[in-house]
Amino acid sequence: MSGEPHTRTTLENQAFALMGRMHVILRRQTGRVTDIEYMRIDPGYCRYILKMIASSDNTDLHEIAIKLEEIYFGNDGLFVRTDTKPLLARLSEPAQPAAPAAAPPAASSPAKPGGDDPVDRGYIGRLR
């Protein structure tokens, strides 16, 4: 990889594309099926798969292993980085959170099914 800094999303997209190619090559040549999603989140499984494909004699797999090693375990790799903010906080950073909507005034009596209330509250409750 080049010396330019990469965002986490860019690295994850590159890794996913490489793991997809690796998965297809392994399945066609050896019948081996890999779990890409598990490889993406578990450093131990990722290292195991990278070690396994490094021992193969396929040059495409060797190139993929080198790139994935850099993406995941390089100086600024995905398994090396530590994000201190929770995921939801990172996702909502660019947009300002909306102010909570004011609650509608409480009715004096609960709405009866099929009554005057145009919204079937029981149906909405079952969706949640």
Q: How far apart, in whole angstroms, are the C-alpha atoms of residue 96 and residue 52?
A: 46
**pLDDT by 10s per residue, the chain, length 128:** 444 456 888 888 999 999 999 999 999 988 889 999 999 888 999 999 999 998 888 999 999 999 999 998 888 788 776 655 666 676 676 555 555 555 555 555 555 555 555 555 555 555 54
Evaluate if pTM is beyond 0.75: no
**119 assigned to some structural domain:** no
CA atoms within 13 A on the CB side of 94: 1
CB 97, CB 104: distance < 8 Å:
no
Residue ranges making up the domain that contains 46:
8-73
**84 assigned to some structural domain:** no
**12 assigned to some structural domain:** yes
**3 assigned to some structural domain:** no
